[in-house]
Amino acid sequence: MCGIAGFVSHRDIDIDAMLDSIIHRGPDGRGNYRFKLGQLNAVLGHTRLSIIDLSEAGAQPMFSDDQSVVITFNGEIYNFKELRSRYLQNELFKSSSDTEVLLRLYLKFGISAVKYLNGDFAFSILDKRTNKVYLVRDRVGVKPLYYSLNNGELVFASEIKALLTAGVSRTLNENEIQKYFVFKYTPQQNTLFDSIKKLEPAHILTFDLESKESNISKYWDYSDIELFDDSYAAAKKGLYDLMEDAVRLRLIADVPIGTFLSGGIDSSIVASFLKDRPDIRHYCASKNQDDLAKEGSTSDFYYANKLAQEWGFPLHELKISSSEASLEMIRTTLKYSDDIIADGSQIPSYLITKEASKTSRVILSGMGADEIFLGYAGHQITLLASYFDRLPYFVRRQAGDILAGLNQGKGKFLAYRRYLHKFGKYLDNPSERMIAFNVVGDFQNSLSVFRGGEDVMKEVGDYYFGKSTDFKSLNRFEHENFLVKNLSYMDRMAMANHVEGRVPFLDHRIVEFAHSLPRSFKLSFFGKTKRIVKDTFADVLPSYIVNRRKAGFGMPLRSIFSNEFQSRKMIELDFFESDPRFNIESIQSLCARHWSGQEDNSALIYALITYKEWYKIYISGYGNN
């Protein structure tokens, strides 16, 4: 795990400044290589976080024996030992690193070598034999990679701040602002910077140094696989075997390893394969009872601690409360998360990896299972809506009106009330409900805060517009957007503390397997989420883990923003009132409804606060990068 940066330009960009901006990604070493073709500068830079082969032999940039090919690599190739023995058995290696295996695979197979890799990666290759530069991102998007293409110039890096340091324009992409407030991140390849894009997962960007032309191609698509046509019992065995191997591969490291153990089923599954590893530490965030009551949630630490005692695991508790969500802490997370994300999980992710970094350099996470195996409440109400469509209109409408009238911020069973309200409000709106059911916060309220920008419905139209019961469309949108967002904040918060995050559930073989399954294997007829995951590991995990009600991992936003005085102070309504692009009347109204307990707009309030602080840091220049 490292940071990479570079450029192809007639300008002489300061690569050292670019690397300085992402030094947190690689405090163990750094280097760069410069190549000149006529008046064109091609530079590759690297900051190193040593995980495999801690010696200088693993330093980067790394070169082929004849110096004609150069690579800078971020991430891990988990099957590199297998690839080395299968395809490179006659090669003489200078290191025991996965980077050198990747370099030699490229020399043997060209850029198509990426198809052999099982790993999480973003890398750049300069091939002086063909005068081409390649940028490549892993299949699922575990590792980030950003680029800017402008007038024959290519600038790229693991994080946006390095591109800004290189002088790439900070012009705001206004077309994406409304989408940000709806999704709480910018979907697909765009960012809130007009000149900066994400290289999407499973894509290769090729830049020709001679013609200055570039093209982007896709090298993997999970939808191309055949549908699973065996029994449910066979599917369960297949899932177990794949998970066992995915966890095994992700234990490859020359540094201490730990896990996020939340007491939920996904992280507990990962931990179940580690019972014979007393050297591996486990970490869990805990919230106080007042915050849990206001959230309508359950305690992660209670379940994680109970499991750790039963299995004899060392568990490290990190206490978090509403007091942690200060403006100072939000600014800290934004310093690292320059591709703006308004997710309450960022702060605890930052805090827990900060604590974990004292004893572990690699952390395994259960992230990804909910997206690929249909584990969210939004999936349940989407299925429920398809059943309600069969009812007479007057019955459906009456039920919808009753549920839409539920207060979301006060009363018992808050978590259920929030989703029942959303279900009732959008039940008879098939053009919006697939989005509304599956975004954080209220869809229409989120649309109302910003004037202008591209139509959000157009953005998602290629996925599921008008397909209210099409779970394949929903699954694809979440996989390519919501999941990538989650991986982005995990990477940023972990790397801020020099920790590498690994996600066994997102081994590409498991992703392919999950997408091959019929919906009923993942979300049952009666709405059992992650059905196959729960059934596969029902005999491995205690029943109190398997049957536990789902609790999100994140800051207690509802508790934090239930205090009107504190919320007003953080949101700074004057900031939005001074900008005519924002609908200040709508913002004031949705805040008032939230504080009264009529609605739960905590996620949107957090998105407004996050945008305001991000804008000050990265656009108006009030802060430092």
Tens digits of per-residue pLDDT, 235-291? 999 999 999 999 999 999 999 999 999 999 999 999 999 999 999 999 998 877 766
Asked if residue 471 has pLDDT above 90, the reply is no
Which among 55, 545, 46 is positioned nearest to 309, based on CA atoms?
545
| Distance separating alpha carbons of residues 583 and 35, to the nearest angstrom | 50
- Strands, sheet with 146-150, edge to edge from the N-terminal-most edge strand: 29-37, 40-48, 2-9, 153-157, 146-150, 197-198
Q: What are phi and psi of 449, to 5 degrees?
A: -80, -20
Structure-token pair, residue 607: 């998105």
Residue 33 has a pLDDT of 97
**Mean pLDDT in residue range 353-381:** 94
Q: With respect to residue 198, please indicate whether it lies within any of the assigned structural domains.
A: yes
Domain count, the chain: 1
Tens digits of per-residue pLDDT, 581-603? 999 999 999 999 999 888 889 99
Which among 372, 323, 363 is positioned nearest to 513, based on CA atoms?
372
Tens digits of per-residue pLDDT, 369-415? 999 999 999 999 999 999 999 999 999 999 999 998 888 766 666 77
Residue 225 has a pLDDT of 86
Residue 110 has a pLDDT of 97
Residue 555 has a pLDDT of 72
CATH number at residue 198: 3.60.20.10
- Percentage above 70 pLDDT, the chain: 94
Q: Model confidence at 160, in pLDDT bands (50, 70, 90)?
A: very high
Asked if residue 624 has pLDDT above 50, the reply is no
The single-letter code of the amino acid at 418 is R
Distant-in-sequence, close-in-space partners of 534: CB < 8 Å, separation ≥ 6: 265, 528, 546
**Mean pLDDT in residue range 553-563:** 76
| Distance separating alpha carbons of residues 601 and 589, to the nearest angstrom | 11
Distant-in-sequence, close-in-space partners of 435: CB < 8 Å, separation ≥ 6: 182, 443, 456, 457, 460, 464
Expressed in percent and rounded to 5, the helix, strand and coil fractions of the chain are 45, 15, 35
Residue 623 has a pLDDT of 42
| Cis status, amide bond into 27, omega within 30 of 0 | no
Asked if residue 100 has pLDDT above 90, the reply is yes
Residue 464 has a pLDDT of 61
Tens digits of per-residue pLDDT, 482-509? 999 999 999 999 999 999 999 999 999 9
For 275-386, strand residue ranges (E) read 281-287, 315-320, 362-364
How do beta strands 119-127 and 40-48 pair?
unpaired
For 66-187, strand residue ranges (E) read 69-77, 119-127, 132-137, 146-150, 153-157
Asked if residue 480 has pLDDT above 70, the reply is yes
Structure-token pair, residue 302: 């209670």
Q: Model confidence at 293, in pLDDT bands (50, 70, 90)?
A: low
Q: Model confidence at 294, in pLDDT bands (50, 70, 90)?
A: low
**Mean pLDDT in residue range 312-326:** 83
How do beta strands 362-364 and 500-502 pair?
parallel
The radius of gyration computed from the CA coordinates of the chain, to the nearest angstrom, equals 24
Q: Model confidence at 174, in pLDDT bands (50, 70, 90)?
A: very high
Residue 319 has a pLDDT of 84
| Distance separating alpha carbons of residues 50 and 516, to the nearest angstrom | 36
- Evaluated on CA atoms 557, 563, 568, 570, the torsion sign reads negative
Q: With respect to residue 164, please indicate whether it lies within any of the assigned structural domains.
A: yes
**Partner residues linked to 125 by β-bridges:** 71, 134
Q: With respect to residue 151, please indicate whether it lies within any of the assigned structural domains.
A: yes
Neighbours of 220 (CB within 10 A): 16
CA distances from 64 to 27, 58, 60, 67, 507 (A): 25, 13, 12, 5, 29
Which among 350, 331, 348 is positioned nearest to 614, based on CA atoms?
331
Burial degree of 390 (CB within 10 A; 0-12, 13-18, 19+): exposed
Tens digits of per-residue pLDDT, 210-226? 999 999 999 999 888 88
Q: Model confidence at 468, in pLDDT bands (50, 70, 90)?
A: very low
DSSP structure string for 579-598? -TTB-HHHHHHHHHHHHHTS
Residue pair 5/156 in contact (Cβ under 8 Å)? The answer is yes
Q: Is 520 helix (H, G, I), strand (E, B) or coil?
A: helix
For the chain, the distance separating the N- and C-terminal CA atoms, rounded to the nearest angstrom, is 22
| Distance separating alpha carbons of residues 154 and 622, to the nearest angstrom | 28
Domain that holds residue 97: 2-220
Asked if residue 538 has pLDDT above 90, the reply is yes
Q: Model confidence at 434, in pLDDT bands (50, 70, 90)?
A: confident
For 337-429, strand residue ranges (E) read 362-364
Q: With respect to residue 174, please indicate whether it lies within any of the assigned structural domains.
A: yes
Q: With respect to residue 86, please indicate whether it lies within any of the assigned structural domains.
A: yes
